[in-house]
Amino acid sequence: MAAASVILGLLAFLFMVGGLFTAMVPVMGSVLSFGAPVLGLFGMVFGGVAMSRANQMGDSNGLAITGLVVSAISFFLGLLFALTCGMCNACVTAAAMNPQPNGGAWSPGGPTGPAFGGPTTGTTGPSGPSPAGWGGPTPTGGTAPPLPVGAVPGDDVCERAERCCLAFADGDADFCGGAVGAARRGDAPEEACRTLLDGYVQGFETTDREVAEVCRAPSAAAGGPPVCTDHCVHARDGECDDGRPGSQTDLCVPGSDCADCGPLQGASWSAGGRCDESCPSSGDGECDDGRPGAHTDLCAPGTDCADCGA
């Protein structure tokens, strides 16, 4: 048993070294990494039993002590390695044993998205695919969902967010592609991209830089009303809640409940409609409520009348 203890201790050390060099090899790396502390543990048991028998019989216990020490060192080193790099082996093995169905961004041969530096699938615009209904492909056998009221065909908010990010981050494509790519793959890509876009616009303001033109939403037509959305939390409840003339409530800003209130008309945000200075950046010398000719669309139409006029 003393000899077996020495052999097991040496094998445990060899397994640990082998696991180090096969860290990214599925299955083999895991077997070697987690096998090292197991062999070391058995070597300690054999060494302890051999030393006890040698003491009882009055024989030399030098070999037993050597096996016990070697096995103990191999066990603790192997255990430390298994809890660190060995976990990486396990992750690689799990990924190899359970690839994503139909390929994926992380599976061999799978499609890659904009955040992974690969080509995108589907009809692409300046910086990636457009969702259905926003200039992208229509699903086979179906019809594209209708555009939001007053929205401009081809105005992909994710593309606009990426262009705005590039302008804000001085062309850092890796940074912008990763952020916008993650938003595109989320459950609500349009909302996520709009949140990113708002953050980039605020970044321009907080750094005292002029907001880039690519960050602004296009108007429905030259000289026409700005884009109308359903960002009001009470949108689509059957009641007009954005405070325009004739609306039931003014829980939200004008132009944010177009599903219930209808498209923005000139009278809804110009003379005759509600006009105030509720925009946080009102009075800064720049028109920020998104009307035609405004510097930015940070706020809803009619909320920066100090700078945009009635």
Task: Convert the pLDDT of each residue in 205-220 to its tens digit.
Answer: 778 888 788 887 664 3
Does a structural domain hold residue 106? no
Q: Count other Cβ atoms within 10 Å, centred on residue 267.
A: 12
Q: Are residues 236 and 196 in the same domain?
A: no
Would the pTM of this model clear 0.85, i.e. be above it? no
Q: Are residues 247 and 262 in the same domain?
A: yes
Q: Are residues 7 and 92 in the same domain?
A: yes
> Residue 23 has what pLDDT?
63
Which amino acid, residue 71?
S
CA-to-CA dists, residue 192 to 3, 163, 185, 196, angstroms = 65, 15, 10, 6
Residue 30, pLDDT above cutoff 50: yes
Question: Residue 154: pLDDT band by 50, 70, 90 thresholds?
Answer: very low
C-alpha to C-alpha distance for 94 and 104, rounded to whole angstroms: 15
Q: 81: which 2 tokens?
A: 């390695």
> Residue 135 has what pLDDT?
39
Q: What is the arithmetic mean of pLDDT over 250-260? A: 77
> Residue 100 has what pLDDT?
44
Q: Among residues 63, 73, 59, 55, which one has the least CA distance to residue 9?
A: 73
Does a structural domain hold residue 59? yes
Provide, rounded to the nearest whole percent, the portion of the chain with pLDDT above 70. Answer: 65
Q: Are residues 225 and 309 in the same domain?
A: yes
Q: Are residues 186 and 271 in the same domain?
A: no
> Residue 142 has what pLDDT?
42
Q: Are residues 224 and 306 in the same domain?
A: yes
Does a structural domain hold residue 246? yes
Does a structural domain hold residue 159? yes
pLDDT digit string, tens, across residues 57-75 = 887 778 878 888 888 888 8
Task: For residue 295, give its domain range.
Answer: 219-310
Q: Are residues 77 and 15 in the same domain?
A: yes
When the pLDDT of each residue in the chain is averaged and rounded to a whole number, the result is 70
Question: Residue 84: pLDDT band by 50, 70, 90 thresholds?
Answer: confident
Does a structural domain hold residue 105? no
Does a structural domain hold residue 229? yes
- Dihedral angle of Cα 237, 243, 244, 247, to the nearest 10 degrees: 50
Q: Are residues 61 and 119 in the same domain?
A: no
Does a structural domain hold residue 119? yes
Q: From 192, 215, 238, give the residue that closes a domain.
A: 215
Q: Are residues 302 and 267 in the same domain?
A: yes
Q: Are residues 193 and 151 in the same domain?
A: yes
Question: Residue 113: pLDDT band by 50, 70, 90 thresholds?
Answer: very low
Q: Are residues 121 and 209 in the same domain?
A: yes
Q: What is the largest CA-CA distance in the chain?
A: 109
pLDDT digit string, tens, across residues 278-298 = 777 777 888 887 776 677 777
Most confident of 96-110, 152-166, 211-225: 152-166
Residue 111, pLDDT above cutoff 70: no
Structurally, the chain folds into a number of domains equal to 3
Q: Residue ranges of the alpha helices (H) in 58-172? A: 62-83, 85-97, 157-168
Q: Are residues 169 and 244 in the same domain?
A: no
Does a structural domain hold residue 32? yes
| Chain-centroid distance, C-alpha 143 | 29
Among the residue ranges 37-41, 94-98, 135-139, the one predicted with the least confidence is 135-139
Phi, psi of 237 (to 5 degrees): -105, 5
